[in-house]
Amino acid sequence: MDITTWMFEWLEGNAIFTPNTLGYYWDGFVTTTQLVFLSLLAGLLLAVPLAILRSSRHKWISLPVYVYTYVFRGTPLLIQLYIIYYGVVFFDGIQETFLWPILREAFYPALIAFTLNTAAYTTEIFRGAIKATSQGEIEAAKAYGMSSSLMMRRIILPSAFRRALPSYGNEVIFMLHASAIASVVTLTDLTGAARFVYARFYAPFDAFLFVAAIYLCLTFAILFVFRQLEKRLLAHLKPLSH
């Protein structure tokens, strides 16, 4: 049987998954994807310079970054979200600035909290990768007369990014799962949509199992993408085949 007619018949005989509720899930999917993608992008951009500072030999440069990553990795994301969501009002004069219409909505406090959180984890991932650069490569770069910024750009960062790839893949999945708490501050992300459907039909199994399956598919998609990336970018580290 044709898959679209099958879908149609299944939808017709179903009280809960009407086109209407599927529309909620779709909106939730869009919100979740936007939140996760934007926070990962901003977090990545923050994490690169922070990781370089964190690897500095000078204590007064690396210590503040360490305090930041320690605090953000040591406390629950939910608390960070609450602090930003409830606290943003209390910055003096913020309600008069052009930022207020943006910050008043739950989306942006959530985005800020997620960005700061993932930036902290990503900083530590990159810092580990930078630290693991082989001493020989650094010596060779120095022997070529490279300045430390050129060495960072041409030698250390490109190989560190590759080494960080598997851990960063885990961080992306972690962020997808962590984004579910956006539903706590009234955002209708995927989990928020499931909560809505649950509340409306009092059908916890349908509502949450369906959304769990969506998350599972997304997780597998991310895993697949990172596995392909690793295959390409880490090909030089694979054991030689005989």
Partner 1 sequence: MLDLQGYGPRLIEGAGVTVQLAILSLLLAIVLGLLTATAKMSRSWLLHKVATLYTTVIRGVPDLVLMMLLFFGGQIGVNMISDMLYDHFDIDLYINFNAFAAGVLTIGFIFGAYMGETFRGAFMAVDEGQIEAGKAYGMGNALLFRRVRFPQMMRHALPGLSNNWMVLLKTTALVSVIGLTDMVRVAAEASRATHEPFVFLLPVAAVYLLIASVSEWIFAQLQKRYNVGFGGQ
CA atoms of 151 and 162, how far apart (whole Å): 16
Query: The tokens of 172 are what?
Result: 């992306």
Please report how close the Cβ of residue 22 comes to partner 1 at its closest, in angstroms.
18
Please report how close the Cβ of residue 139 comes to partner 1 at its closest, in angstroms.
27
CB closer to partner 1, 138 vs 203? 203
Secondary structure of residue 6 in the 3-state scheme: helix
CB closer to partner 1, 119 vs 178? 178
CA distances from 119 to 72, 124, 226, 233 (A): 9, 9, 19, 23
Amino acid symbol at 35: L
Please report how close the Cβ of residue 98 comes to partner 1 at its closest, in angstroms.
23
CB closer to partner 1, 53 vs 178? 178
The residue among 136, 152, 130 whose CA lies nearest residue 65 is: 130
Residue 190 contacts residue 25 (beta carbons within 8 Å): yes
CB closer to partner 1, 74 vs 145? 74
Query: The tokens of 77 are what?
Result: 């994301």
Please report how close the Cβ of residue 218 comes to partner 1 at its closest, in angstroms.
9
Give contact residues for partner 1 (rule: CB under 8 A).
Answer: 70-71, 74-80, 82-83, 86-87, 90, 176-181, 183-184, 191, 194-195, 198, 204-205, 208-209, 211-212, 215-216, 219-220
